[in-house]
A = this chain, B = another copy of it.
Amino acid sequence: MSARQDIAALKHAFAALVGAANVLDSAADMAAYETGARYDKGRAALVVRPADTAEVSAVVRHAVANGIRLIPQSGNTGLVSGSTPDESGNQVVLSLDRLNRVFELDRDNRSVRLDVGHRLSDVNARLEPEGLHFPIDLGADPRIGGMLATNTGGARFLRFGDVRKNVLGIKVVVADAEGTVLDFMSGLRKNNTGVDWKQVFIGTSGAFGIITECEINLELMPRQTAAALLVPREGAAVMPLLREMEIRLGSYLSAFEGMSRNAVESAFRHVGSLRNPFANGVVPDYAILAEVTRSWDARAGEQPLDAVIEEVLGEIWESAPGLLEDALVGSPAELWALRHALSEGVKHRGRMVAFDLAFRRQDVIAFCDWMKQNMPARFPDVAICDFGHIGDGGVHFNLVFEDASRYSAGRETELREWVYEVAVSDFGGSFSAEHGIGRKNQPTYDRYTHADVAAPADGLKSMISPGPLGAVRFGRN
C-alpha cells in the first residue's frame, strides 16, 4: 500500500462509506492525528472519521479485506504511542472524534449510555447539573474510548477504582471479515452468565476491537472537599501515614498522592503562577497531597471537612509523633493545581523518559529509594522526578536528561531496559500501570509477558479479531 494510486483507491472506498469530507489525506489535515502527546510523530496513509458504529464496522470490514492496519484514535492524549500511526505511512487512523451523538442519561440506573467520542470534560460538564460525574479523575482530557482502551485509573482510584470497575456495558467492532459488532450493552450491574467479554476489550489498547459505545457508572459529585499537604519525616513514614489516614477517614479519603522534590521544583519553575505552600518556601524531599471528600452538602451541626482533616492530622501528630515533619490544610484547588502541574513541569526540565509503573503500595517508596541510590552510578546525568498514586501503588516514574544533549535513543533504550528489569523482575511491579501498551511498550510486553499468557492472548486475538488492528501486536497480528 505504498503506492499513491493504492492510497487513492482506498480513499475512494472509505469516502463511499463515511463521506468524502471525513477521509483526510492532506499533510495539514492529518498532522494532528499523526502527532501524539509526547515525542510521538508518525505518518498516516489516511485518516478516516466514521460517525457511528455502523460506519466503523464498514470501515473495519474494508480494511480487513484489504489487509490495512487501522489505528483507532480517541482523544489522542495517551503517552505510549497507542493511538498514532507508525512511520511507515501504511497505517490508517480511524478517528473516533465524530462518535459523539448518543448521550442517554439514566438517572434511576445512575449511568449514562454514550458514544465513546465524547471528551471526559464534556461528559462531566453535562452531568454536573445532575450532581453526578464519571469519577475517573485524570490530568489529561481524553475521550472516553481511549479511557476504555487503556483502563485509566487516575488520582482518585483509591475511592472510585479504575475504568474497568465503572463500565456497565460496551459495544465493540472486531476486526473480522464482517466487521462484526458485539453488543454487551445490557447496562446491568450484576450479570454472571458466562465469560464477561467486556473485560477482554477494556485495557487492551484497541487490539481486540474498537469500542464504539458504552454505558458507564456514575457517582455523586463531591460536594465538600478538603485537602492537606503532608510532609513525612522519612520515606518509611509514608505507609504508616496512609494507614493512619485510612483508619480515621475510611471512604472519605479520596486521594493520597506523592510528589518528589524534583517534580515539585520543576512545576514551580515552569508555572510561575503556582503559589509555594511549603513552610518558608522550602520544598521537602517528598510531600503528599491528601484529599477528603463528601458527596453531600454539610449538614447542620456537622464539622466542616477542613476541621475534620485538621483534627485527624492532629491525632496522628500526637499518637504517632515520628511520622509527620509538617502538615498544612490548604485550598484543594491550589494543591491540585500544583499536583496537576507536575507532569508539564517535569517535561520542561529537559528530555523526559517517562515510566508509568505500579507496585504493591509499600513498594512505590521502596522502589524510588532504590533508584535514587543506584541511578547516579548508572545514569549520572538523569534526574528522577517521580510523583503519583501512593494510595493505589501507581507511580509516574519520570526521568529527565536535564542536559538534552546527553540524550540519545540508544541511551533511552538502555535506561528503559534497566528500569523495567528492576521494576518488574526485582520489585514484582507492572511496566504499565494505566497508560497501556502502545508501540512504546511493545518490546517490554514481548519481553515480560510469560509464554503461558502470551500464547493464549495471541490465540484469543486470532479467534475473535484476526485482522490487523491497533498499534499493539498480539501474535502475528
Contacts and interface: CB of A to CB of B under 8 A. Distances in A.
Interface string A143-163: 000000011010001000110
A164 to B, nearest CB: 8
A30 to B, nearest CB: 28
Given A249-B296, A299-B303, A453-B195, A393 B460 contact: no
Question: Looking at chain A's contact residues, is the secondary structure mostly helix, strand, loop, or mixed?
Answer: loop
Given A182-B452, A192-B434, A199-B199, A299 B308 contact: yes
B250 A220 contact: yes
Contacts of A110: 246, 361
Interface stretch (A43-51, A183-191, A333-341, A408-416): A183-191
Contacts of A35: none
Given A248-B296, A249-B296, A463-B456, A392 B360 contact: no
Contact of A108 (B223, B360, B428, B460): B360
A295 interface: yes
A165 B202 CA distance: 14
Nearest to A250: B295
Instruction: Determine how many copies of this chain the complex contains.
Output: 2
Interface string A417-457: 00000000000111111111100010001001100111011
B299 A394 contact: no
A189 B392 contact: yes
B190 A358 contact: yes
A122 interface: no
A186 B106 CA distance: 37
A92 B305 CA distance: 58
A464 B202 CA distance: 20
Contact of A463 (B157, B441, B463): B463
A319 interface: no
Interface in A271-326: 294-296, 299, 301-303, 308, 311
A133 to B, nearest CB: 12
Contact of A429 (B162, B180, B188, B435): B188
Contacts of A394: 189-190
A107 interface: yes
A452 to B, nearest CB: 6
Contacts of A109: 360-362, 393
A350 interface: no
A190 B299 contact: no
A393 B196 contact: no
A39 interface: no
A362 B108 CA distance: 6
Residue with the highest number of chain B CB atoms closer than 10 Å, among A246, A251, A361: A251
Residue with the highest number of chain B CB atoms closer than 10 Å, among A204, A250, A296, A429: A250
8 contacts: A162-B190, A192-B430, A192-B437, A193-B437, A193-B441, A194-B204, A220-B250, A301-B301
Q: Which 10 A-B pairs have the closest CB atoms?
A: A250-B295, A199-B199, A108-B362, A190-B433, A191-B430, A190-B358, A189-B392, A108-B239, A109-B360, A192-B203
Given A109-B393, A194-B437, A194-B474, 5 more contacts: A189-B361, A223-B250, A247-B296, A248-B296, A301-B303
